[in-house]
Chain A
């Protein structure tokens, strides 16, 4: 009798565990299915390559895609070199000391700063103090700061996975530390570093809060590639199309399609990152 009750409790708990697991998969399926289903009427190639028309109630999102690419590239140019070099310092040069611990603590806390606080900081330092104004550059630098901890952590992880023998062999041949890093360590760590970079880019281009006050614009009639101009961006566009536009129900289709494209980009970047990780997973075993 008691073993029967035991079995019953055990099975119901297992059932609960399976239920939790299924629920999470369900979330993911519902979200993507619902958004793609509803974007069916609007989403097309011409939607991607056309300008918005008629107070953004018709047409496509071409300048918005370009704006997102532009600001993401600026943030990458800023954050990638500093992020990788910072990781190299931490993994290859830094000794175990109080100072190194302080740097690690800073990186961890940088990763936990809310994105809206990055927005405030970008406004205070780039827009106001450095007087750059609200523009692609201010927004790109703000996003760059936001992605920095991700890039550092991923790059350090990749460097850590390079076996010590790679370094020792080259050092024994009389190379300087920089030569060893350049020829024997960094090239080997590249796949891991790239995975981290792709994931951080995927995060940067989906962020809205940091660009709200640093450069994103409601609507710009022409496409500009000047870093001191304002820009339109996909996440911000989705935000205004779903909450701020004067004809919210009339532009639902555009909002659905913008959301679908954001999901699609995130999906593609994530798949690329996982493929690289999967392929180089056992490189040193």
Chain B
């Protein structure tokens, strides 16, 4: 009798512990959101929302007054992300096609771990690489005085984003049922025509999801862009100019800011923006992933 009750007791206790650990993630996400709001909304006591969002002048400790306009920082993030996607989408999707449809098994055996390793390189190491090799290289080729610019940051970000795009797109391509390919080939289409006209459209949901997640990573990445982009806030249109992103601004300035100042609140507000953007992108990506799964079962 004692034995049985102890058995049940340990069973109930373990169940409660597992449940609490499961709920923990939900609590953390809520806490992150609440804290970001709590530490950032007082910023509107000092600055109007109009000045904050629509001004491009970010100069928190200027002699002629403090300016907190995030437009140039948002543009910095957006610009670097766009160039990153222009580089990494074709490269990533083509490589995924190569791996899933063409590459012999031996190549896959080498490539899979290599891509995981690429994903595992710390971003600070890539940033360092951008400073010591890529920067001087870009400066030399294009005749610039300084190679720390949008192009440099975007190339580094592409290296970081590619593993996500390649491995997820490859999974999506592999998941396309063999019967689709067989039907197309039986109609007399070549292998390449089958890939372009049948396989890629069928895998499009998964490929779009992989691009969305890669984009989320590019927007949220800090160290590589901090070290490689030069960090001058500017509304530039040239990839050879330096920009400053949202993440880099937080990283540079938060260390020297006193708690509960306007500057402190403003930096947390940038964090809140990043959180909301990544939340949005991530869930759109998930929508596409779910769509792809449904498609498979048809």
Residues in A lying within 8 Å of B, measured CB to CB:
6, 9-10, 13-14, 16-18, 20-21, 23-25, 27-28, 30-31, 34-35, 38, 81-86, 88-90, 92-94, 102-103, 105-110, 112-121, 123-125, 128-129, 145, 148-149, 152, 176-179, 181, 199, 202-203, 206-209, 212-213, 235-236, 238-239, 242-243, 252, 255-256, 259, 262-263, 266-267, 269-270, 274
Nearest B residue to A123, CB-CB:
B254
Query: 8 Å CB contacts to A: which residues of B210-249?
Result: 213, 216, 219-223, 227, 247
Across-interface contacts of A109 in B (CB, < 8 A): 29, 278-279, 282-283
Q: Does B259 contact A (CB under 8 A)?
A: yes
Q: Is the CB of B113 within 8 A of A116?
A: no
In the complex, A177 Cα to B159 Cα: how many Å? 45
In the complex, A263 Cα to B259 Cα: how many Å? 36
Q: List 20 A-B contacts (CB under 8 A).
A: A24-B114, A34-B129, A35-B125, A81-B21, A85-B18, A93-B18, A106-B25, A108-B286, A113-B278, A114-B222, A117-B220, A121-B31, A121-B36, A128-B259, A176-B11, A177-B11, A177-B15, A242-B131, A259-B125, A274-B113
Q: Is the CB of A239 within 8 A of B129?
A: no
B1-35 interface bits toward A, Cβ cutoff 8 Å, 1 = contact, 0 = none: 00000011011001101111111111011011001
**Known pairs A117-B271, A145-B28, A206-B125. 9 more at Cβ < 8 A?**
A28-B117, A89-B18, A89-B22, A93-B18, A112-B213, A112-B282, A116-B247, A176-B11, A252-B132
Q: Does B44 contact A (CB under 8 A)?
A: no
- Determine which of B14, B129, B274 lies in contact with A35 in the assembled complex, contact meaning CB atoms within 8 Å: B129
Distance between A203 CB and nearest chain B CB, rounded to angstroms = 7
Per CB-CB distance, the 10 closest pairs between chain A and chain B, nearest first, are: A114-B220, A206-B122, A89-B22, A85-B21, A89-B18, A17-B98, A112-B282, A86-B21, A176-B11, A209-B222
Q: Is the CB of B129 within 8 A of A31?
A: yes
Distance between A49 CB and nearest chain B CB, rounded to angstroms = 22
Q: Is the CB of A21 within 8 A of B103?
A: yes
Q: Is the CB of B14 within 8 A of A242?
A: no
Most buried by A among B23, B25, B192: B25
Most buried by B among A24, A27, A92, A177: A24
Q: Does B67 contact A (CB under 8 A)?
A: no
The range of chain B's interface size is 35 or more
In the complex, A130 Cα to B22 Cα: how many Å? 23
Nearest A residue to B39, CB-CB:
A124
Across-interface contacts of B15 in A (CB, < 8 A): 93, 177-178
Q: Is the CB of A106 within 8 A of B255?
A: no
In the complex, A199 Cα to B126 Cα: how many Å? 18
Q: Is the CB of A20 within 8 A of B275?
A: no
Across-interface contacts of B250 in A (CB, < 8 A): 116, 119-120
Q: Is the CB of B254 within 8 A of A212?
A: yes
Q: Is the CB of A117 within 8 A of B274?
A: yes
Q: Is the CB of B7 within 8 A of A176?
A: yes
Across-interface contacts of A120 in B (CB, < 8 A): 36, 39, 250, 254, 267-268, 271
Distance between B97 CB and nearest chain A CB, rounded to angstroms = 6
Q: Is the CB of A20 within 8 A of B91?
A: yes
Nearest B residue to A86, CB-CB:
B21
Across-interface contacts of A88 in B (CB, < 8 A): 18, 21
Q: Is the CB of B190 within 8 A of A106?
A: no
CB-CB under 8 A for A243 and B227, given A178-B11, A206-B122: yes
